[in-house]
Structure 1
């Protein structure tokens, strides 16, 4: 029997295995976040007030989008577990080894169809809520001009939420089947299309109306629609995926829909808890003036970019945990935690060093040091980067922890951990340091750091306890000859 590698050799082997799924997902996430980064850069070119208003609108949109994504995220885990069971019994109809005989009612097909049904419900409800929130921005302590600009952009963004969530449901299906290759190509193309449409609608080129800031919202909605259509068409052409994907939403199995909603609501609440924590700090930053809000928007976008590495690792680890548990391998499920955290820590160390050594360079796409309006915002943002360099370690760790618990189907535990970490630790710390200690925006980010660190510790401890509950103490693999 071949020896089982241990120590660094085993970590390297596990890291390569995780990277097979994680790298395409990380690249897809980074390409996807380039959409909002492009939007943010375009806003910055319009001016500080537009950047503040557009950043506020994106915060609201991301809050609702993130919660909608949470509702369909468990599609990937359910598909992965079903596919693993089919692989363990290759004679079973619908096995991935038999792309020509999937059967219309197999488990994978039922989950994929139910996922699209859940995405539809979430997209419609979220769009209505987005418009309603836009009408209330002036009541939340925001500058009247900023609130008015943000309100118009939210109206333009709202229709894009539905195809955005359809895209995410199909994406989770392809990831669960371990066939996410088309995602990266489509997302990269969408970045270029988004940049062109942003420019066209902002400045009124190619015969299009000149919409200014609102045009960025219109362009984003169109890009989400085109991205979904492209992914759906690509998936339908795949010989393994195509027969299992259907838009017959009215025939979705109600029990499967209820199951996905039961798993998805705590995930949505978990994502919403984190996004809400960041959204609230954006509102608090806005209370310190437009320069503080612009600085917060720029730094938050940097965090959002790097966070995509953790999202990719989290999804890959989560899918693999679902597969390993379906196959009964608890030792591998435990090692996945250490592998994902080690990979994330390595990336965060490099990024944090860049923040500390080249602060002006990383902030240049968002804020212009030569502009009088951007000078104060740049000074504030530069001071925040030292905090962010540390914060990102915990931000990545907590996101990976959420994914690991999702692999255990323990979605409620993740939500409870975020309630404690964000709202019982992070929010009071932000209020105390930002207002009582008069550290203003810096204090808000120190509070964010405290909340994320607490959440990460709670989530990882919960995952270890969940594995022990499944099979007793999970021992380290012992090298054998």
Structure 2
């Protein structure tokens, strides 16, 4: 690589990391938050773990899709902010109005909170209805009764959770996400303390058992939202633009955010469903295979948070560059994000190869005979996910890049093709027909993610080229 290209890559990488690193660490802290809930449920016993886990799955599915509805807000804010900055830098004699861009940001913030409110209320109602229907899905009556009490405690937390996500997208779009990490880390500690207090009835609080975990989670979401709101309101840049008056939300902006958000929510739901089906397939090969699959899947999920941070950061930067008419820089963002992802995945892959027992030790007793079969399967799977994780990261970056172009529908269509038309049949073929079992399933996952990544990145390149041609024609005219 020529020295000039290397210098450009390093400069672009530093610029991307400024936004991506806080987001990656925030994602990892959120994983710690859900892990704390799971550990606490496990301490209550197997029945509570099963019921609580079922409730958490339902909550997380609805939460994830609700988050998808407001994810495009960051891109809209980034583009509006770039236009506002350009207006402020323009000559006073020109027509550009510096206040117009700022008002556009304020309008998007109000609309995003309106969307979050509607999604939170609808999701909470749907969560309770699903709880009532659990017995129809073949679940044990005792587990269902416990799960319903958990869902009742979790439902109110969905609203402040999505409010938090709306303001989070606002701060990310404005490229000022620093408070996110501090608040999320603090929420992990607060969640653990409230969990313990409400489970056991300490500090004068009622002893609630399993529902106490749901109450604690809802309360922590509310406190996190309030903390982020106060932090943003005190910020000299963010404060004047943050408006909670959703009654004045512009209906056209609300509709635009919903139109952009529905494909994102569907994409998130589709990906979750893809991995859920493969878990059922792995379970058909026995408990050892399912345990190995679960452990490796958790490792992929943890490393995936790097992809989420890079994807969001790249997406926001693309929105800004296109708002300023810089398609060449937008193309470099793709290459920079993929290079950063590749560097991280190489380091992770080396750890998988050289220290497999250490990597698997949180999940298994690697020296125990009873875990020997699961450890053996998982060790072989590590070799697959070493490659798979790069494509997993690349496809998530691809979705984010297209979101930066305001194209959320293509991302959804392509992931349907990659996950369900290519990935799932390949997993079945290799796992069952060829007889590779769990290894075949993960090779199918790898194939599906690789195909998705290639299609998404090709689509991004084609759309970016079209936009560049359009901008050149406009300039010539």
The alignment's TM-score, normalised by the length of structure 1, stands at: 0.86
| Counterparts in 2 of 1:240 and 1:325: CA distance versus 1, 3 Å | same
Distance 1:56 1:432 in 2: 30
Partner of 1:36: 34
Distance 2:186 2:462 in 1: 43
- Comparing 314-323 with 41-50, which one deviates more in the overlay? 41-50
Partner of 1:65: 63
Could you say which structure has the greater relative contact order, defined with CA pairs below 8 angstroms and 6 or more residues apart? 1
- One of 82, 85, 102 as aligned partner of 1:84: 82
Give the C-alpha shift of residue 19 in structure 1: 1.2
Distance 2:225 2:309 in 1: 19
Partner of 2:171: 174
- One of 254, 263, 266 as aligned partner of 1:266: 263
Give the C-alpha shift of residue 406 in structure 1: 0.6
Give the C-alpha shift of residue 361 in structure 1: 2.9
Structure 1 residues 345-404: Cα deviation after superposition (integer angstroms, max 9, x where no partner): 111121222233333433444455689997776565445333322221111001100110
Partner of 1:478: none
CA RMSD of aligned residues (A): 3.2
The alignment's TM-score, normalised by the length of structure 2, stands at: 0.87
Q: How does 1:406-425 map to 2 (within 5 A)?
A: 406-425=403-422
Matched, 1:133 2:127: no
**Is the Cα–Cα contact under 8 Å of residues 307 and 341 in structure 2 kept in the other structure?**
yes
Matched, 1:431 2:441: no
**Is the Cα–Cα contact under 8 Å of residues 202 and 213 in structure 1 kept in the other structure?**
yes
Structure 1 alignment gaps of length 5 or more: 93-100, 476-481
Partner of 2:186: 189
Partner of 1:200: 197
- Comparing 428-437 with 329-338, which one deviates more in the overlay? 428-437
**Is the Cα–Cα contact under 8 Å of residues 41 and 210 in structure 2 kept in the other structure?**
yes
**Is the Cα–Cα contact under 8 Å of residues 334 and 474 in structure 1 kept in the other structure?**
no
**Is the Cα–Cα contact under 8 Å of residues 311 and 398 in structure 2 kept in the other structure?**
yes
Partner of 1:13: 11
Give the C-alpha shift of residue 7 in structure 1: 2.2
Q: How does 1:30-429 map to 2 (within 5 A)?
A: 30-43=28-41, 54-90=52-88, 106-137=103-134, 150=147, 152-285=149-282, 295-367=292-364, 381-429=378-426
Distance 2:387 2:44 in 1: 31
**Is the Cα–Cα contact under 8 Å of residues 84 and 101 in structure 2 kept in the other structure?**
no
Structure 1 residues 127-156: Cα deviation after superposition (integer angstroms, max 9, x where no partner): 222333344556556677666655554443
Number of residue-to-residue matches in the alignment:
464
**Is the Cα–Cα contact under 8 Å of residues 107 and 253 in structure 2 kept in the other structure?**
yes
Give the C-alpha shift of residue 197 in structure 1: 2.6
Distance 1:238 1:110 in 2: 18
**Is the Cα–Cα contact under 8 Å of residues 48 and 290 in structure 1 kept in the other structure?**
no
Distance 1:379 1:205 in 2: 43
| Counterparts in 2 of 1:348 and 1:209: CA distance versus 1, 3 Å | farther
Structure 1 residues 7-55: Cα deviation after superposition (integer angstroms, max 9, x where no partner): 2221111101111111111122222222123234444555677656555
Structure 1 residues 181-210: Cα deviation after superposition (integer angstroms, max 9, x where no partner): 111110110111122233334444434455
- Comparing 215-224 with 266-275, which one deviates more in the overlay? 215-224
**Is the Cα–Cα contact under 8 Å of residues 141 and 287 in structure 1 kept in the other structure?**
no
Give the C-alpha shift of residue 270 in structure 1: 1.6
**Is the Cα–Cα contact under 8 Å of residues 426 and 444 in structure 2 kept in the other structure?**
yes
**Is the Cα–Cα contact under 8 Å of residues 128 and 155 in structure 2 kept in the other structure?**
yes
**Is the Cα–Cα contact under 8 Å of residues 151 and 214 in structure 2 kept in the other structure?**
yes
Partner of 1:449: 446
Distance 2:455 2:44 in 1: 42
Distance 1:71 1:322 in 2: 18
Structure 2 alignment gaps of length 5 or more: 91-97, 473-477
**Is the Cα–Cα contact under 8 Å of residues 159 and 221 in structure 1 kept in the other structure?**
yes
Task: State the secondary structure of the residue aligned to 1:6.
Answer: helix
Distance 2:151 2:380 in 1: 30
**Is the Cα–Cα contact under 8 Å of residues 48 and 291 in structure 1 kept in the other structure?**
no
Task: State the secondary structure of the residue aligned to 2:243.
Answer: coil
